[in-house]
Structure 1
Amino acid sequence: MSFYKPINIQNDLFFQLSDNFVTKTSETKHATMKRILPVIVLSQFCCTSLWFAGNAILPDLTKHFNIDANNLAHLVSAVQFGFISGTFLFALSGLVDRFVATRIFFVCSILAAFCNISVVMVHTTESILLISRFLTGFFLAGIYPVGMKIASDHYQKGLGKSLGLLVGALVLGTAFPHFLKGFNTNYSWEFVLWATAGLSVLGGSMMVLLVPQGQYSTVAKKIDFRAITTGFKIHNFRSPALGYFGHMWELYTFWAFLPALILSYKTQHHLTDINVSQWAFVIIASGSIACVVGGYLSEYFGTKKVAVFALSLSCFCCLISPIMLMYASVPVLFGFLLFWGMVVIADSPLFSTLVAQNAPIESKGTLLTITNSIGFSLTILSIQIIGILSNVINPHYLYIFLAIGPILGIAMLLKKAS
């Protein structure tokens, strides 16, 4: 008896073509994923250059608009208040989870750019200037946290590395206006506003045209007012969110008072060869490197461990700051501030990663946004307290109080679920 197996040429050909199609589809998808991240990162850099545009040209604005010295703090804080208001409204309305995120990013980038340059285009008073900066911050709420949501919609594996690049872009963006003013004093204050507005339009256009909807994204059909309270009941979400709040207590106050810190050291030691704007740009911008490095390290050592380590280092910098400000030479102080500028932001993308990974997928955008809103609210409180203390105690000891945030943040991260 003989047995034979019939050959089905059509079936063999079908499976071969299917395998080829799957392979090519996988390769195309991988290539697309590699292309998307640089676009998101570059878009984030372009749009967040609006953030410190007003701070970088503050002396020019003060002179041009005859701003009262007592109102300077309001001008500096206007963007922060706008951002807090915007993130709170976005989170409460659930807009980020109800509409396509790239479109929200684009619309907000255009509106923020317009608000940024409105003071150049119309007859401006001090009140209009404050409103302009407030609204710029308001629409930045549709850029920074929404950019993180877009990244998390595309990347689950390697999210820490992706958000490290994204927050690194934010750091470079916020430092960029200082670069424009500090490295070329011939640039007018109007040019800084036009340049950052143009970058914002470019960044928003790139995002909406080149970044498709992510494979992990969802669009909610209705507003869920319980999304925020539900999220904070989850320990794995609540713990990194509280750690992020401790981190934010230190971060923006350090950035805000950095020029004053450098100027104080320069005055005390009777130095003339320190360019405060250049130092501020380099120190703040160095944080972008730390964000990227922290993201890569998180893949090997774990996101939470690297976040705790970075937060501990920045806490240490707070505690030893009086010694450095009193006794360090110029090179040593610059090296110390450069290190501090790196570790103070290195944990930011790691906290965002932990928040995004542990938030319910249907309310991820809302919870990322409200976390940003609360975190930035704490920056206002921290800045105001340090501002008050600066009139009471020796400036050398001022930055010890920033350690309160990292200490509490570490405690929240290490706390076990009850």
Structure 2
Amino acid sequence: MVHTKRDTLREDRETGDRRPTSRWTALLWITCAELLAMSVWFSASAVTGALTRQWHLSGIAVTWLTASVQLGFVAGALISATLGLADRFRPRMLMGWGALGAALTTAALLLFPRGGWGPFALRALTGAFLAVVYPVAVQWVARWFPRQRGLAVGILIGGLTMGSALPHLLAGMPLLQHWQGVLAGSAALAVVSWGMVLWGVPEHPGPFHPPAFRWDRVGAVLRDQPVMWANLGYWGHMWELYAMWTWLPTFLGASWAFRWSGTALIRVTGGVSFAAIGLAGLAGALAGGWAADRWGRTRATIGAMGVSGAMALLIGVTFQHAPWLTILVALMWGFSVIADSAQFSAAVTELAPTALQGSALTLQMAVGFLITIGSIDLVGWLEPRIGWSHVLMVLAVGPAVGIWAMARLRHRPESLQLAHGRR
């Protein structure tokens, strides 16, 4: 079905929008703000080498530089959902002040030049603040886009991807080569995000009523088979995604240490990491949103996970071989690993009854981010034992499970509710 300009004008009238371009303007502002705010997520991970030396970190402690953010995010999301913060406060206030909180807790890391437990607590608080940035942004964009939601959320996820990769680019800049500069730079970007959200994003003309979360409805969600197949697909996707984002830069640095060293190695690995995670990821998120709206959510997610799982199996083969081959596989992996991300939550909103949507989405996200802690830790534990040539292969388990789940969903009659009948 071709989506015409007349359709877009009608949709804007249906949402009370008097200016046909205002929803796209809102999407641009929200995406840019999301991009800048999410730069703090991997800010410490991007300077792992420097922090390891400065803070005398063990291998498991290095892993928890990122895993603590994941844990804080889950806790923050559950607390926010339980207290109904999205009903109590406007999305502008939640997202804006969440971005500022994440900026301040990231900047506070500079107060710990010798490390200790304080930085890990701050990383968890950063994740908790981001729990009212990312989910609120998704709900906000979904409210603006009753149709073309797959593309719109895909654009937003592209911003998240770019933001997550930004610290790797900052680490390669001459003025920010010290770990303090990268952390301060990421915090400054999140402060800019705070200002953009509070004073830049256009006000939505209609009321904002996000789906409510209730603990007593979780059992009903678990018994809803179509929703749980979509959730299982997401959980397989998450097993791979954040572990790939966490460990790819370290893999590249270890792979190319025989060719470059010092500042040159930091710049090369940072630049390639940003290209693979950020630029290729942005392209993948856009392509995935477009493909899902055109050909269906199950087909798009199965295709993306098939490619990303194959790249997880292949990238280890390129270890310490020709850099161009590693770069090619990394770019394909970065493109495909995020291409399906927006489609699982969109599927839940289409499959779950209205009364269950809030609980279903919260369960999906909370379990998904808990799973990322397991895969991040597992790669860190296995790498000294089996080496970089093989360790990232374990991430292919996630896409395999996800493909199976989405194939099962596709063969159910309820899948006709997805993407306006495109399954």
Q: TM-score when scaled to structure 2?
A: 0.84
Matched, 1:198 2:191: no
Paired with 2:366 and 2:16, the residues of 1 have a C-alpha distance of 38
Paired with 1:107 and 1:41, the residues of 2 have a C-alpha distance of 16
Instruction: Give, in angstroms, the shift of residue 394 of structure 1.
Output: 4.2
Give the secondary-structure state (helix, strand or coil) at the position aligned to 2:386: coil
Paired with 1:223 and 1:352, the residues of 2 have a C-alpha distance of 15
CA 1:324–1:109: 2 relative to 1, 3 Å: same
Instruction: Give, in angstroms, the shift of residue 213 of structure 1.
Output: 4.2
CA 1:211–1:124: 2 relative to 1, 3 Å: farther
Show the counterpart of 1:149. Answer: 139
CA 1:62–1:202: 2 relative to 1, 3 Å: same
Paired with 1:244 and 1:68, the residues of 2 have a C-alpha distance of 31
- For structure 1, the residue ranges without an aligned partner over 5 or more in a row are 1-21
Residue of 66, 70, 86 corresponding to 1:96:
86
Show the counterpart of 2:406. Answer: 413
Instruction: Give, in angstroms, the shift of residue 301 of structure 1.
Output: 1.2
Paired with 1:125 and 1:319, the residues of 2 have a C-alpha distance of 36
Residue of 393, 396, 401 corresponding to 1:403:
396
CA 1:160–1:63: 2 relative to 1, 3 Å: same
Moved more, 233-242 or 93-102: 93-102
Paired with 2:110 and 2:234, the residues of 1 have a C-alpha distance of 36
Matched, 1:381 2:371: no
Counterpart code for 2:241: L
Show the counterpart of 1:352. Answer: 345
Instruction: Give, in angstroms, the shift of residue 235 of structure 1.
Output: 3.3
Q: 1:45, 1:172 within 8 Å by CA — same for their partners in 2?
A: yes
Instruction: Give, in angstroms, the shift of residue 56 of structure 1.
Output: 1.8
Show the counterpart of 1:52. Answer: 42
Q: RMSD in angstroms over aligned alpha carbons?
A: 2.9
Residue of 186, 194, 203 corresponding to 1:212:
203
Q: 1:87, 1:370 within 8 Å by CA — same for their partners in 2?
A: no
Q: 1:163, 1:352 within 8 Å by CA — same for their partners in 2?
A: no
Give the secondary-structure state (helix, strand or coil) at the position aligned to 1:300: helix
Instruction: Give, in angstroms, the shift of residue 76 of structure 1.
Output: 3.3
CA 1:358–1:93: 2 relative to 1, 3 Å: farther
CA 1:296–1:365: 2 relative to 1, 3 Å: same
Show the counterpart of 2:416. Answer: none
CA 1:320–1:216: 2 relative to 1, 3 Å: farther
Show the counterpart of 1:14. Answer: none
Instruction: Give, in angstroms, the shift of residue 353 of structure 1.
Output: 2.1
Paired with 2:110 and 2:390, the residues of 1 have a C-alpha distance of 40
Q: 1:49, 1:173 within 8 Å by CA — same for their partners in 2?
A: yes
Q: 2:298, 2:407 within 8 Å by CA — same for their partners in 1?
A: no
Give the secondary-structure state (helix, strand or coil) at the position aligned to 1:217: coil
Instruction: Give, in angstroms, the shift of residue 350 of structure 1.
Output: 1.9
Instruction: Give, in angstroms, the shift of residue 362 of structure 1.
Output: 5.1
Instruction: Give, in angstroms, the shift of residue 256 of structure 1.
Output: 1.5
Show the counterpart of 2:362. Answer: 369
Instruction: Give, in angstroms, the shift of residue 308 of structure 1.
Output: 1.1
- For structure 2, the residue ranges without an aligned partner over 5 or more in a row are 1-11, 414-423
Instruction: Give, in angstroms, the shift of residue 80 of structure 1.
Output: 1.7
Show the counterpart of 2:287. Answer: 293
Show the counterpart of 1:239. Answer: 229
Show the counterpart of 2:310. Answer: 316
CA 1:242–1:92: 2 relative to 1, 3 Å: farther
Q: 1:235, 1:417 within 8 Å by CA — same for their partners in 2?
A: no
Show the counterpart of 2:171. Answer: 181
Paired with 1:180 and 1:394, the residues of 2 have a C-alpha distance of 28
Show the counterpart of 2:328. Answer: 335
1:165-194 C-alpha deviation (Å, 9 max, x unpaired): 101000110111111111335444333333
Show the counterpart of 2:26. Answer: 36
Give the secondary-structure state (helix, strand or coil) at the position aligned to 1:212: coil
Paired with 2:310 and 2:43, the residues of 1 have a C-alpha distance of 30
Q: 2:170, 2:176 within 8 Å by CA — same for their partners in 1?
A: no
Moved more, 95-104 or 111-120: 95-104
**Percent identical:** 27
Q: Which has the larger radius of gyration?
A: 1
Paired with 2:213 and 2:371, the residues of 1 have a C-alpha distance of 26
Q: 1:47, 1:200 within 8 Å by CA — same for their partners in 2?
A: yes
Show the counterpart of 1:257. Answer: 247
Q: TM-score when scaled to structure 1?
A: 0.84
Instruction: Give, in angstroms, the shift of residue 152 of structure 1.
Output: 1.1
Counterpart code for 2:121: I
Q: 1:250, 1:406 within 8 Å by CA — same for their partners in 2?
A: yes
Residue of 67, 75, 94 corresponding to 1:77:
67
Moved more, 155-164 or 61-70: 61-70
Paired with 2:32 and 2:121, the residues of 1 have a C-alpha distance of 28
Show the counterpart of 2:8. Answer: none
